[in-house]
Amino acid sequence: MFSLNSTQPTFAFMGIPVLGSLFGADVVAIPIAITGIVVNAMLDPLATIIGTVGQRERSEGDSEESLFKVTIKSILHGLSEPLACVPLIAVVLVLCGFQSPDLLSSSLDQIGSITSGAALFAVGVTIGIRKIQFSPAAFGIAILKVAIQPLVMLGIATAMGLSSADIVKLVLLVAFPGSAVAAMISVRFDSLAGETASAFVLSAIMSLVTLPLLISWLM
């Protein structure tokens, strides 16, 4: 959960407003879409599976079953979680060229439009119950998210010889504050729930300083 929350950005909330104002919405649509595929079809399902494995291994620690069997059961159970299986099913359907009826498409659009808000609500409830924690873990997640990760991406993008415009897009994409969805996954498995919810708030506050600095430095 520490790794997930220190890497997953709020690309959906801030991608178009920030990058779109710098490069144009049409130019940044593809990078944001690719980020969405990586996050929703790979990162979140993998985190859900790993979280389920850890949760079941703790609860079945005294079981006579072997660690291998417990792990396989946990992975299968993790794949049955909506956070893991729904994005993967969606990717398969898209690759197969599935076209949903207008009524179903409209319904899914409405459901999708509230997911970020529901995640924010869950994070807000967690903060309300546990209060903001100025702990080393919370600050570590926030600093990794808005400061360390952009610098690492800058080094990687420069080493790959990318154009200056592409470097700016990549750096800013990972420099956005932490994701409410990632914090919600931590709440779901009750793993670093208070710390990740606090890191979400701290990274949002820190990004008010780091994002303008990065934009003025790179542009």
The angle that helices 193-218 and 149-159 make with each other, rounded to 10 degrees, is: 50
Q: Note the pLDDT of residue 25.
A: 76
DSSP 8-state assignment for residue 197: H
φ, ψ of residue 9 in degrees (nearest 5): -95, 165
Which one has a higher pLDDT value, 19 or 141?
A: 141
* Per-residue pLDDT at 172 exceeds 70: yes
pLDDT bucket at 59, cuts 50 / 70 / 90: low
The answer to whether residues 123 and 180 touch, using CB atoms and an 8 Å cutoff, is yes
Give residue 23's domain range.
2-218
* Per-residue pLDDT at 57 exceeds 70: no
* Per-residue pLDDT at 130 exceeds 60: yes
Question: Among residues of the chain, what percentage have pLDDT more than 70?
Answer: 84
Interatomic CA distance for residues 190 and 126, integer angstroms:
10
| The pTM of the whole model exceeds 0.85 | no
Mean pLDDT of the chain: 81
Contacts 24+ apart (CB under 8 A), 30-34: 31/169, 31/170, 31/173, 32/173
Average pLDDT over residues 117-124: 70
Q: Give the number of domains in the chain.
A: 1
Average pLDDT over residues 120-129: 71
Q: Note the pLDDT of residue 63.
A: 56
Q: How many other C-beta atoms can be found within 10 angstroms of the C-beta atom of residue 49? A: 21
User: Using CA of residue 37, residue 40, residue 211, residue 143, what is the dihedral sign?
Assistant: negative
The answer to whether residues 198 and 134 touch, using CB atoms and an 8 Å cutoff, is yes
